[in-house]
């Protein structure tokens, strides 16, 4: 999923029991959204950028990508539990 430089990759990282959403910006890893304590208690781990001092994003675009990542996890969780 692409939105103004952002990508979301839903993965099954070995560090987590449930699926997680990796967020990338211009192909650089930004953050991981996990749902280990349930999607209503999702946690975000933000990684530092490689080539600059800090990340700078448009607030609404970043919130939108976080919401999209959360919605994808919810949808996949619902699909997974209906099997």
CB-based contact 69:5 (threshold 8 Å): no
Q: Which pTM value belongs to this model?
A: 0.83
Task: Compute the average pLDDT of residues 62-82.
Answer: 84
Q: Which residue has the higher pLDDT, 81 or 63?
A: 63
Q: What is the pLDDT of residue 21?
A: 94
| pLDDT tens digits along 14-43 | 777 788 999 999 999 999 999 888 888 889
Q: Which residue has the higher pLDDT, 14 or 72?
A: 72
> Phi/psi at 28 (nearest 5 deg)?
-105, 135
């Amino acid at each position: 999923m692409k939105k103004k430089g952002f990508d979301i990759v839903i993965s099954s990282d070995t560090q987590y029991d449930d699926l997680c959403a990796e967020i990338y910006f211009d192909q650089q890893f930004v953050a991981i959204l996990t749902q280990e304590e349930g999607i209503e208690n999702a946690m975000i781990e933000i990684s530092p950028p490689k080539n600059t001092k800090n990340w700078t994003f448009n607030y609404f675009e970043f919130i939108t990508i976080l919401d999209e990542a959360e919605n994808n996890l919810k949808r996949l969780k619902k699909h997974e539990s209906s099997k």
